[in-house]
Homo-oligomer: A and B are copies of this chain.
Amino acid sequence: MKLAVIEGDGVGKEVIPVALEVLDAFGLDVEKVPLELGYGRWERTGAAITDEDIDLLKGCDCVLFGAVTTPPDPNYKSVLLTIRKELDMYANIRPIRPLPSIKGIHDRTDFNYIIVRENTEGLYSGIEEIGEDVSTTKRVITRKGSKRIADYASKLAGSRTNKLTIVHKSNVMKSDKLFLDVCRQSATDAGVTPSDELVDSFAYNLIRNPWNYDVIVTTNLFGDILSDMSGALVGGLGLLPSANIGEKYAFFEPVHGSAPDIAGRNIANPLATVLSLKMLLEWHGDMAEAGILEEAIDTSLNHGICTPDLGGKSSTSEVGEFLANYIKTR
Protein backbone atom coordinates (compact mmCIF):
# COMPACT_ATOMS: atom_id res chain seq x y z
CA MET A 1 0.00 0.00 0.00
CA LYS A 2 1.28 3.39 -1.05
CA LEU A 3 -0.13 5.95 1.39
CA ALA A 4 0.02 9.70 0.92
CA VAL A 5 0.22 11.45 4.27
CA ILE A 6 -0.90 15.05 4.64
CA GLU A 7 -0.60 16.66 8.05
CA GLY A 8 -1.83 20.05 6.89
CA ASP A 9 -2.09 22.85 9.42
CA GLY A 10 -2.90 23.36 13.09
CA VAL A 11 -3.80 20.23 14.99
CA GLY A 12 -3.30 18.24 11.77
CA LYS A 13 0.40 18.32 12.69
CA GLU A 14 -0.36 16.65 16.00
CA VAL A 15 -3.01 14.09 15.18
CA ILE A 16 -1.42 12.64 12.05
CA PRO A 17 1.80 11.65 13.86
CA VAL A 18 -0.37 9.74 16.34
CA ALA A 19 -2.15 7.90 13.54
CA LEU A 20 1.19 7.02 11.96
CA GLU A 21 2.59 5.76 15.25
CA VAL A 22 -0.47 3.52 15.53
CA LEU A 23 -0.14 2.36 11.93
CA ASP A 24 3.56 1.60 12.44
CA ALA A 25 2.72 -0.53 15.45
CA PHE A 26 1.03 -3.02 13.13
CA GLY A 27 4.20 -3.46 11.08
CA LEU A 28 2.22 -3.53 7.83
CA ASP A 29 3.92 -3.07 4.50
CA VAL A 30 3.14 0.57 3.86
CA GLU A 31 5.08 3.03 1.78
CA LYS A 32 4.41 6.51 3.16
CA VAL A 33 4.54 9.55 0.89
CA PRO A 34 4.47 12.73 2.96
CA LEU A 35 3.06 15.87 1.32
CA GLU A 36 3.02 19.38 2.68
CA LEU A 37 -0.22 21.07 1.70
CA GLY A 38 -2.36 23.84 3.08
CA TYR A 39 -2.09 27.26 4.56
CA GLY A 40 1.47 26.94 5.86
CA ARG A 41 2.65 25.86 2.46
CA TRP A 42 0.70 28.72 0.87
CA GLU A 43 2.37 31.26 3.14
CA ARG A 44 5.77 29.84 2.26
CA THR A 45 5.33 29.27 -1.49
CA GLY A 46 2.14 31.04 -2.59
CA ALA A 47 0.38 27.76 -3.42
CA ALA A 48 -1.64 25.60 -1.04
CA ILE A 49 -1.77 22.75 -3.56
CA THR A 50 -0.41 22.35 -7.11
CA ASP A 51 -1.05 20.10 -10.11
CA GLU A 52 2.11 18.17 -9.21
CA ASP A 53 0.63 17.44 -5.80
CA ILE A 54 -2.48 16.07 -7.44
CA ASP A 55 -0.36 13.86 -9.70
CA LEU A 56 1.55 12.62 -6.69
CA LEU A 57 -1.72 11.82 -4.90
CA LYS A 58 -3.00 9.99 -7.95
CA GLY A 59 0.12 7.82 -7.82
CA CYS A 60 -0.84 6.63 -4.32
CA ASP A 61 -3.51 4.11 -3.32
CA CYS A 62 -4.98 6.23 -0.59
CA VAL A 63 -4.51 9.31 1.54
CA LEU A 64 -4.45 10.02 5.25
CA PHE A 65 -5.26 13.65 5.87
CA GLY A 66 -5.17 15.78 9.03
CA ALA A 67 -6.73 19.20 8.65
CA VAL A 68 -6.04 22.45 6.86
CA THR A 69 -6.67 26.06 7.67
CA THR A 70 -8.57 28.02 5.02
CA PRO A 71 -7.96 31.78 5.14
CA PRO A 72 -10.80 34.12 4.06
CA ASP A 73 -8.66 35.21 1.06
CA PRO A 74 -10.86 34.70 -2.05
CA ASN A 75 -7.80 33.66 -4.10
CA TYR A 76 -7.10 30.75 -1.80
CA LYS A 77 -8.09 27.46 -3.33
CA SER A 78 -9.50 25.03 -0.77
CA VAL A 79 -7.13 22.08 -0.53
CA LEU A 80 -9.80 19.68 0.63
CA LEU A 81 -12.35 20.60 -2.02
CA THR A 82 -9.66 20.51 -4.71
CA ILE A 83 -8.59 17.02 -3.75
CA ARG A 84 -12.15 15.69 -3.46
CA LYS A 85 -12.87 17.04 -6.90
CA GLU A 86 -9.65 16.12 -8.70
CA LEU A 87 -9.68 12.58 -7.36
CA ASP A 88 -13.44 12.40 -8.00
CA MET A 89 -14.17 11.01 -4.55
CA TYR A 90 -17.92 11.06 -4.76
CA ALA A 91 -18.86 9.35 -1.51
CA ASN A 92 -18.19 10.89 1.89
CA ILE A 93 -18.81 8.23 4.51
CA ARG A 94 -19.34 9.33 8.08
CA PRO A 95 -20.17 6.62 10.61
CA ILE A 96 -21.73 7.77 13.87
CA ARG A 97 -21.35 5.41 16.78
CA PRO A 98 -20.93 5.99 20.49
CA LEU A 99 -17.60 5.04 22.05
CA PRO A 100 -17.32 3.34 25.45
CA SER A 101 -17.28 5.61 28.52
CA ILE A 102 -17.98 8.73 26.48
CA LYS A 103 -21.33 10.34 27.06
CA GLY A 104 -23.20 12.17 24.32
CA ILE A 105 -26.55 13.84 24.86
CA HIS A 106 -28.45 10.59 25.42
CA ASP A 107 -28.12 7.86 28.04
CA ARG A 108 -28.96 5.21 25.46
CA THR A 109 -26.00 4.17 23.36
CA ASP A 110 -27.67 1.64 21.10
CA PHE A 111 -27.33 3.59 17.89
CA ASN A 112 -24.94 3.23 15.04
CA TYR A 113 -25.69 4.94 11.78
CA ILE A 114 -23.74 6.02 8.73
CA ILE A 115 -24.19 9.24 6.81
CA VAL A 116 -23.42 8.73 3.12
CA ARG A 117 -22.87 12.22 1.78
CA GLU A 118 -22.71 13.04 -1.91
CA ASN A 119 -19.35 14.71 -2.19
CA THR A 120 -18.97 16.34 -5.59
CA GLU A 121 -22.00 18.44 -6.49
CA GLY A 122 -25.02 20.16 -4.89
CA LEU A 123 -24.06 23.51 -3.42
CA TYR A 124 -20.36 22.66 -3.82
CA SER A 125 -20.64 23.08 -7.61
CA GLY A 126 -18.47 26.17 -7.56
CA ILE A 127 -20.86 27.73 -10.06
CA GLU A 128 -21.32 31.18 -8.61
CA GLU A 129 -22.06 34.65 -9.84
CA ILE A 130 -20.65 37.24 -7.53
CA GLY A 131 -22.00 40.75 -7.82
CA GLU A 132 -22.02 43.85 -5.70
CA ASP A 133 -25.74 43.53 -4.98
CA VAL A 134 -26.60 39.94 -5.88
CA SER A 135 -24.56 36.78 -5.42
CA THR A 136 -25.73 33.34 -6.42
CA THR A 137 -24.60 29.76 -6.07
CA LYS A 138 -26.00 27.09 -8.32
CA ARG A 139 -27.07 23.89 -6.59
CA VAL A 140 -26.49 21.16 -9.13
CA ILE A 141 -28.06 17.71 -8.84
CA THR A 142 -27.30 15.26 -11.64
CA ARG A 143 -28.79 11.88 -12.34
CA LYS A 144 -25.30 10.39 -12.66
CA GLY A 145 -24.05 11.94 -9.45
CA SER A 146 -27.19 10.91 -7.58
CA LYS A 147 -27.08 7.39 -8.96
CA ARG A 148 -23.56 6.59 -7.93
CA ILE A 149 -24.04 7.83 -4.38
CA ALA A 150 -27.43 6.11 -4.17
CA ASP A 151 -25.91 2.85 -5.39
CA TYR A 152 -23.12 3.15 -2.85
CA ALA A 153 -25.59 3.78 -0.04
CA SER A 154 -27.99 1.04 -1.16
CA LYS A 155 -25.17 -1.48 -1.29
CA LEU A 156 -24.02 -0.43 2.16
CA ALA A 157 -27.59 -0.71 3.47
CA GLY A 158 -27.82 -4.17 1.91
CA SER A 159 -24.77 -5.22 3.92
CA ARG A 160 -26.34 -3.93 7.14
CA THR A 161 -30.02 -3.82 8.08
CA ASN A 162 -31.51 -3.15 4.63
CA LYS A 163 -32.82 0.22 5.78
CA LEU A 164 -32.05 3.36 3.83
CA THR A 165 -33.22 6.86 4.74
CA ILE A 166 -33.10 9.44 1.96
CA VAL A 167 -32.83 13.00 3.25
CA HIS A 168 -33.87 15.86 0.97
CA LYS A 169 -35.92 19.04 0.70
CA SER A 170 -38.00 18.26 -2.35
CA ASN A 171 -41.03 20.15 -1.05
CA VAL A 172 -39.08 23.34 -1.74
CA MET A 173 -36.35 22.44 -4.24
CA LYS A 174 -37.33 20.55 -7.34
CA SER A 175 -33.67 19.64 -7.78
CA ASP A 176 -34.16 17.28 -4.87
CA LYS A 177 -37.01 15.54 -6.63
CA LEU A 178 -34.39 14.12 -9.01
CA PHE A 179 -32.20 13.06 -6.10
CA LEU A 180 -35.12 11.45 -4.29
CA ASP A 181 -36.41 9.58 -7.33
CA VAL A 182 -32.98 8.21 -8.22
CA CYS A 183 -32.30 7.12 -4.64
CA ARG A 184 -35.65 5.37 -4.35
CA GLN A 185 -35.08 3.50 -7.58
CA SER A 186 -31.56 2.50 -6.59
CA ALA A 187 -32.72 1.20 -3.23
CA THR A 188 -35.55 -0.79 -4.74
CA ASP A 189 -33.20 -2.27 -7.36
CA ALA A 190 -30.85 -3.32 -4.56
CA GLY A 191 -33.64 -4.95 -2.57
CA VAL A 192 -33.39 -2.34 0.16
CA THR A 193 -36.38 -0.59 1.77
CA PRO A 194 -36.15 3.17 1.28
CA SER A 195 -37.86 5.75 3.41
CA ASP A 196 -37.37 9.46 3.09
CA GLU A 197 -37.52 12.53 5.27
CA LEU A 198 -37.37 16.27 4.79
CA VAL A 199 -34.05 17.61 6.04
CA ASP A 200 -35.57 20.00 8.58
CA SER A 201 -37.70 17.53 10.53
CA PHE A 202 -35.05 14.87 9.95
CA ALA A 203 -32.52 17.00 11.85
CA TYR A 204 -34.96 16.98 14.75
CA ASN A 205 -35.71 13.26 14.52
CA LEU A 206 -32.05 12.31 14.24
CA ILE A 207 -31.19 14.18 17.42
CA ARG A 208 -34.20 12.80 19.26
CA ASN A 209 -34.13 9.19 18.06
CA PRO A 210 -30.77 8.29 16.52
CA TRP A 211 -31.53 4.59 17.11
CA ASN A 212 -34.20 4.76 14.41
CA TYR A 213 -31.65 5.12 11.63
CA ASP A 214 -29.09 2.99 9.90
CA VAL A 215 -27.83 4.17 6.50
CA ILE A 216 -28.66 7.75 5.56
CA VAL A 217 -28.02 9.13 2.10
CA THR A 218 -28.13 12.83 1.35
CA THR A 219 -26.81 15.68 -0.74
CA ASN A 220 -23.52 17.42 -0.13
CA LEU A 221 -24.28 20.32 2.21
CA PHE A 222 -27.02 18.51 4.12
CA GLY A 223 -24.50 15.75 4.80
CA ASP A 224 -22.02 18.35 5.96
CA ILE A 225 -24.45 19.85 8.48
CA LEU A 226 -25.99 16.58 9.67
CA SER A 227 -22.63 14.94 10.31
CA ASP A 228 -21.21 17.76 12.41
CA MET A 229 -24.51 17.93 14.27
CA SER A 230 -24.18 14.21 14.98
CA GLY A 231 -21.03 14.95 16.94
CA ALA A 232 -23.31 15.99 19.79
CA LEU A 233 -24.75 12.47 19.92
CA VAL A 234 -21.38 10.79 20.43
CA GLY A 235 -19.82 13.34 22.74
CA GLY A 236 -17.70 15.50 20.52
CA LEU A 237 -16.56 16.63 17.12
CA GLY A 238 -13.15 15.19 17.99
CA LEU A 239 -14.60 11.68 17.64
CA LEU A 240 -15.91 11.67 14.07
CA PRO A 241 -13.92 9.93 11.35
CA SER A 242 -14.65 10.01 7.65
CA ALA A 243 -13.71 8.40 4.37
CA ASN A 244 -13.93 10.01 0.96
CA ILE A 245 -14.29 7.26 -1.60
CA GLY A 246 -14.05 7.28 -5.40
CA GLU A 247 -13.76 4.67 -8.12
CA LYS A 248 -9.97 4.69 -7.83
CA TYR A 249 -8.95 6.55 -4.72
CA ALA A 250 -9.80 6.76 -1.08
CA PHE A 251 -9.04 9.52 1.34
CA PHE A 252 -9.40 9.36 5.13
CA GLU A 253 -9.73 12.36 7.40
CA PRO A 254 -11.21 13.46 10.70
CA VAL A 255 -14.41 15.51 10.30
CA HIS A 256 -12.99 18.28 12.50
CA GLY A 257 -10.85 21.14 11.24
CA SER A 258 -7.40 22.49 12.07
CA ALA A 259 -8.58 24.10 15.34
CA PRO A 260 -6.00 26.93 15.47
CA ASP A 261 -7.23 27.85 18.97
CA ILE A 262 -5.82 24.69 20.53
CA ALA A 263 -3.03 23.87 18.05
CA GLY A 264 0.53 23.39 19.29
CA ARG A 265 -0.46 22.45 22.85
CA ASN A 266 -0.50 18.68 22.51
CA ILE A 267 -4.11 18.51 23.70
CA ALA A 268 -5.96 17.82 20.43
CA ASN A 269 -8.04 14.66 20.46
CA PRO A 270 -6.42 12.22 17.99
CA LEU A 271 -9.31 9.74 18.00
CA ALA A 272 -11.17 11.10 14.97
CA THR A 273 -7.97 10.59 12.99
CA VAL A 274 -7.22 7.19 14.50
CA LEU A 275 -10.82 6.13 13.72
CA SER A 276 -10.26 7.37 10.17
CA LEU A 277 -7.18 5.13 10.06
CA LYS A 278 -9.42 2.27 11.16
CA MET A 279 -11.68 3.01 8.19
CA LEU A 280 -8.59 2.96 5.98
CA LEU A 281 -7.58 -0.46 7.30
CA GLU A 282 -11.09 -1.80 6.67
CA TRP A 283 -11.16 -0.32 3.19
CA HIS A 284 -7.81 -2.00 2.50
CA GLY A 285 -9.07 -5.34 3.79
CA ASP A 286 -6.93 -5.40 6.94
CA MET A 287 -9.84 -6.55 9.06
CA ALA A 288 -7.82 -8.12 11.87
CA GLU A 289 -5.84 -4.92 12.35
CA ALA A 290 -9.02 -2.82 12.28
CA GLY A 291 -10.48 -5.07 14.98
CA ILE A 292 -7.40 -4.72 17.17
CA LEU A 293 -7.39 -0.98 16.70
CA GLU A 294 -10.99 -0.82 17.87
CA GLU A 295 -10.05 -2.85 20.93
CA ALA A 296 -7.15 -0.52 21.62
CA ILE A 297 -9.36 2.56 21.44
CA ASP A 298 -12.05 1.01 23.65
CA THR A 299 -9.42 0.00 26.20
CA SER A 300 -7.88 3.47 26.27
CA LEU A 301 -11.28 5.04 26.90
CA ASN A 302 -12.23 2.49 29.53
CA HIS A 303 -8.97 3.38 31.30
CA GLY A 304 -9.71 7.09 31.03
CA ILE A 305 -6.72 7.63 28.74
CA CYS A 306 -8.11 10.53 26.75
CA THR A 307 -7.63 14.19 26.01
CA PRO A 308 -9.18 17.09 27.99
CA ASP A 309 -12.11 17.60 25.57
CA LEU A 310 -13.37 14.19 26.75
CA GLY A 311 -12.68 15.02 30.37
CA GLY A 312 -9.33 13.20 30.42
CA LYS A 313 -5.86 14.27 31.47
CA SER A 314 -3.79 12.70 28.70
CA SER A 315 -1.98 14.58 25.97
CA THR A 316 -2.37 13.88 22.28
CA SER A 317 0.87 11.98 22.16
CA GLU A 318 0.16 10.00 25.34
CA VAL A 319 -3.02 8.68 23.75
CA GLY A 320 -0.91 7.68 20.74
CA GLU A 321 1.66 5.91 22.92
CA PHE A 322 -1.04 3.98 24.76
CA LEU A 323 -2.65 2.79 21.54
CA ALA A 324 0.66 1.84 19.89
CA ASN A 325 1.77 -0.03 23.00
CA TYR A 326 -1.52 -1.88 23.25
CA ILE A 327 -1.19 -3.02 19.66
CA LYS A 328 2.45 -4.06 20.03
CA THR A 329 1.95 -6.03 23.22
CA ARG A 330 -1.30 -7.73 22.28
Contacts and interface: CB of A to CB of B under 8 A. Distances in A.
A231 B199 CA distance: 14
Interface residues of A, number: 52
B225 A199 contact: yes
A45 interface: no
A128 B141 CA distance: 11
A136 B128 contact: no
Interface string A226-246: 111101100001000000000
A138 B139 contact: yes
Contact of A140 (B70, B136, B257): B136
Q: Select the residue from A141, A144, A207 with max chain B CB neighbours within 10 A.
A: A207
A233 to B, nearest CB: 8
A208 to B, nearest CB: 5
A150 to B, nearest CB: 14
A70 B136 CA distance: 27
Contacts of A136: 138-141, 175
Contacts of A177: 74, 130, 135
A133 B143 contact: yes
B175 A201 contact: no
A32 interface: no
Q: Select the residue from A204, A207, A208, A227 with max chain B CB neighbours within 10 A.
A: A204
Contact of A169 (B171, B173, B175, B221): B221
A217 B135 CA distance: 18
Interface in A76-91: 78, 81
Contacts of A175: 128, 130, 135-137
A172 interface: yes
Contact of A203 (B70, B78, B133, B229): B229
Nearest to A207: B232
Contacts of A135: 141-142, 174-175, 177-178
A204 B229 contact: yes
A171 B224 CA distance: 13
Contacts of A257: 201
A264 to B, nearest CB: 20
Interface of A: 70, 72, 74, 78, 81, 105-106, 123-124, 128, 130, 132-144, 169-175, 177-178, 199-201, 203-204, 207-208, 221-222, 224-229, 231-232, 237, 257
8 closest A-B pairs (Cβ-Cβ)? A203-B229, A207-B232, A200-B228, A135-B175, A135-B178, A137-B175, A137-B139, A133-B143
